[in-house]
Amino acid sequence: MKGRCTYVCVIVWLDVQNLHKQLKLDRRRRRIAPICSVQAEHEIFRLTATL
């Protein structure tokens, strides 16, 4: 079970990285990028804390 949780966390982290790159590339959404990354960091921290 722990392995599966880690796997899901890594997938989420990769998705977040891709999302962050897309937001960085899209200048119109640049204001959203910091909010998204901060929320994502909190989510990843919460996920890793529960492992």
In the chain, where are the structural domains located? 2-49
Q: Is 30 helix (H, G, I), strand (E, B) or coil?
A: coil
> Dihedral through CA 43, CA 45, CA 49, CA 51, nearest 10?
70
pTM of the model: 0.28
CB 20 within 8 A of CB 33: yes
CB 17 within 8 A of CB 36: no
Buried b / exposed e over 13-22, threshold 16 CB at 10 Å, is beebeeeeee
- What pLDDT, in 10s, does the model give residues 4-48? 555 566 667 777 777 767 666 565 555 555 555 666 677 767 767
